[in-house]
Structure 1
Amino acid sequence: MLFKECFLMAFTALYANKLRSLLTMLGIIIGVGAVIAMVSVGMGVRSNVQESIASLGSNMLIVSPGSSNRGGPRGAAGSMQTLKYEDARAIQSKIRNIDFVSPSVSGSYQIVNGNQNWNSSVQGVTPEYMDIKSLVVESGSFISTDNMNKRDRVAVIGTTVAENLFGSENPVGRNIRVNNQPFRVIGLLESKGQSSMGQDQDDVVIIPLTTAQERMLGITYVQSISVQVKDALYMDQVQEDIEVLLRQRHRIVGDKEDDFHVRNLTSLMETMTQTTTMITLLLGSVAGISLIVGGIGIMNIMMVSVTERTREIGIRKALGATFGNIMMQFLIESVVIGVIGGIIGIFIGCCLSYAIAGLGGFSTVITLAPIVVSFSFSVGIGLLFGILPARKAAKLDPIEALRYE
């Protein structure tokens, strides 16, 4: 009953000074809202990075050619022509703990259907590419080993290409021209939408690797080899085995520089996740400073409140109110400010997060953790910074308090 009375008295005192109470809460509101908004931005960035890397495939290693250096300026990464289709077959047959291996080449060409045309990325791949990239064929079929062996002019297209060349018609079985060469569409992929980096994953034409090498590009090398490892536990070992195998196949001995690179996407994801986590913590910490400022505001106003209500405190103590009763009354007032400010701050923080996502054009992620932590912190701030004013009020001498004007 005593607690209920103290709560009602605290709430009545705050309501009697509505504007002052609101201004006192403002620091807490801004602090909680800023923490939630900033952490949601940081979590959104981390999510985008993870999705971008994961879209390349799970447990992935990517083997790419090295940079050319023949006495002149060093070429760009991947400018050498050292990787062959046979290298990919050797990796598949000789390296353990591997699920799929898919060498690939790519280029950008004009795709034509009748009087409709569209520029798109054309990728020459093997049948394993479908499993590595988790592609799903909506209609028709994917490239087969038979297509590879016969160097067939067949293509599997994404929904963006299909919409621009065929409209609402089913493209399977229809003919298109890729760089003025005829191809038959054998499959339509399910839509994957945009990647986290804003790239349209449906704007693609997939053809057999051998067809792309011999009939399109006129090359004998591959531009990259994607390797899917069975389990993340084997990533480092498989990477080391691939490097040893390719050095043997390419006759690289001693300290001679490798003519290839093996990128570990799992390690890259871990590094990027650690980086974005640090950014998220930094953003949340900077925003959390305003919570401290809000707590100082609470203490300041509570000090003023104690001074204004000195006679009231004297009367209560004269009527038998104990040290604990007075402490409880003023602590409840400061905690109520923290609670109400925290609730309003959560609402504003969530609204800010959605507004940033809408106006900024990238996703934000609202999670329970920052909401719980910031709200708990706001309540704790109210309690902590209310102790000093409450002790001051509780220690007032009732005789001196009654004489106060």
Structure 2
Amino acid sequence: MGIWQSIKMALRSIKGNKLRSALTMLGMIIGVSSVIILVSIAQGSAQNVTSRINQLGTNLLTINSFGTDIVLSEDKIDGLSKLNGVKAVAPVVQGRVNVKKDRTTSQVSLIGTNAAYSSVRDAKVSQGRFITDLDIEYRQKIAVIGSDTASSYFGTENPVGQYLQIDGTSFKVVGVLVSKGSSLGQSGDNVIIVPLSTGQRLVKSTTISQVYLQGKSEDQMDFVMNEVEMKMASLFPNKSDSYSVTNQQDLMDTMSSVNDTMTMMLGGIASISLLVGGIGIMNIMLVSVSERTKEIGIRKAIGAKRRDVLLQFLIEAVVLSGVGGLIGILTGVGLGKLLSALLNLTVTFTSSIMFSSFLFSLAVGVVFGVFPANKASKLNPIQALRYE
């Protein structure tokens, strides 16, 4: 008997017991859909975290100084910008300032920096322009504001060309930043960016405690970091405890490792339900063998070989798990999209996960179907015909 005929007989047997077959497949449906949903949510979360870290800037190195032991003066920062592999450098002064317009008053984060900050930190403007080198040179009283700051003080009006009172001094708004949301617990939209020289005057300090460096390419970041560390060591010998050099890629690698572990753990937990579904298939197939003992005896008596009987029952188990796996994929994708819409989750579906889940369901069908199929194929035809 050919494989196609065995498949048709298996399907006929499954159709003859629709409710039992549906309940048997339920374990596989739940298992496959659970794997797809949980892994897709984990991958979506990883993608979301990576996206938020990238919002901080690409190919980014950060130098932070502590205390007053070291001074990052303009000439030292200029020396850092000339290192091999460094594309741009943005020194920063930060603080909190009182901002007022009409009757609206609140405290807002202030950043004083240069024109390179736009590319280094991926700070694009949706309206107007960013800070220029001339603004720094002439200590211009201009500001680029975040999208939340713009809506708080100007509502639906265009802020460009209008004025804000920052610590009692009038500043002209020349640009509005594209909304970036929150990254690592900090809002990138409730902020005011001013020229470095103006910012130093507002925070009443010329001390630059933070410098951002952008590398030319991702492949060179380890080399650039080594260059920066060597340069800092030569500029400030025996003061390595007073500053730190951090690589954004290290943070991304750490987060990626955590997310990979979480994805594997969630996938492993969900896979347990696939094994439970496989046990259900084996149980039902054993019951089926007992119910169809006489049928097996008749088939063997008229010439069916052991291989034919083994193949028929094995195909039934694989069909049950395979159909359950396909329905599980559709269910998993549907529920994943529903959860994404209802709970505002980032869910990332990948064909590799779906394909792997389906293959695993087929493998479970084969593994747990072998024992009942083997039992059926070994039945003695005379004893099987006398079975009541």
Q: How far is the alpha carbon of 1:96 from its aligned partner?
A: 1.4
Residue 185 of structure 1: aligned partner: 173
Give me the whole-angstrom Cα distance separating, in 2, the residues matched to 1:179 and 1:2. 87
Residue pair 1:81, 1:223 contacting (<8 A) in 2 also? no
Change (3 A) 1:295 1:101: same
Alignment equivalent of 1:379, drawn from 362, 372, 385: 362
Residue 114 of structure 2: aligned partner: 126
2:206 equivalent to 1:220: yes
**How many aligned positions are there?**
388
Residue by residue over 1:272-304, the C-alpha shift from the partner in whole angstroms, topping out at 9 and shown as x without a partner, is: 212221221122112212212211221111011
Counterpart residue identity of residue 269, structure 1: M
Residue 192 of structure 2: aligned partner: 205
Structure-2-length-normalised TM-score? 0.92
Change (3 A) 1:373 1:302: same
Counterpart residue identity of residue 228, structure 2: I
1:2-401 equivalence runs, <5 A: 2-66=2-66, 68=67, 82-93=71-82, 95-117=83-105, 119-192=107-180, 194-195=181-182, 197=184, 200-214=187-201, 216-250=202-236, 252-253=237-238, 257-358=240-341, 360-401=343-384
Change (3 A) 1:65 1:159: same
4+ runs deviating over 6 angstroms:
none
Residue by residue over 1:104-145, the C-alpha shift from the partner in whole angstroms, topping out at 9 and shown as x without a partner, is: 122233432223445432211110001112233233221111
Q: How far is the alpha carbon of 1:80 from its aligned partner?
A: 7.0
Residue by residue over 1:320-344, the C-alpha shift from the partner in whole angstroms, topping out at 9 and shown as x without a partner, is: 2222322222122111111121122
Give me the whole-angstrom Cα distance separating, in 2, the residues matched to 1:225 and 1:196. 18
Change (3 A) 1:306 1:26: same
Give me the whole-angstrom Cα distance separating, in 2, the residues matched to 1:87 and 1:361. 46
Give me the whole-angstrom Cα distance separating, in 1, the residues matched to 2:253 and 2:152. 38
Residue pair 1:357, 1:364 contacting (<8 A) in 2 also? yes
Residue by residue over 1:337-364, the C-alpha shift from the partner in whole angstroms, topping out at 9 and shown as x without a partner, is: 1112112221232244335445555423
Q: How far is the alpha carbon of 1:147 from its aligned partner?
A: 0.6
What is the root-mean-square deviation in Å for CA atoms of aligned residues?
Answer: 2.2
Residue pair 2:233, 2:240 contacting (<8 A) in 1 also? no
Give me the whole-angstrom Cα distance separating, in 2, the residues matched to 1:62 and 1:196. 16
Counterpart residue identity of residue 202, structure 1: D
Change (3 A) 1:277 1:162: same
Structure 2 gap ranges (5+) = none
Change (3 A) 1:350 1:387: same
Structure-1-length-normalised TM-score? 0.89
Give me the whole-angstrom Cα distance separating, in 1, the residues matched to 2:106 and 2:6. 74
Counterpart residue identity of residue 368, structure 1: S
Give me the whole-angstrom Cα distance separating, in 2, the residues matched to 1:373 and 1:34. 13
Counterpart residue identity of residue 333, structure 1: E
Residue pair 2:109, 2:190 contacting (<8 A) in 1 also? yes
Counterpart residue identity of residue 346, structure 2: S
Q: How far is the alpha carbon of 1:168 from its aligned partner?
A: 2.3
Give me the whole-angstrom Cα distance separating, in 2, the residues matched to 1:223 and 1:48. 30
Secondary structure class of the residue paired with 2:264? helix
Structure 1 gap ranges (5+) = 69-78
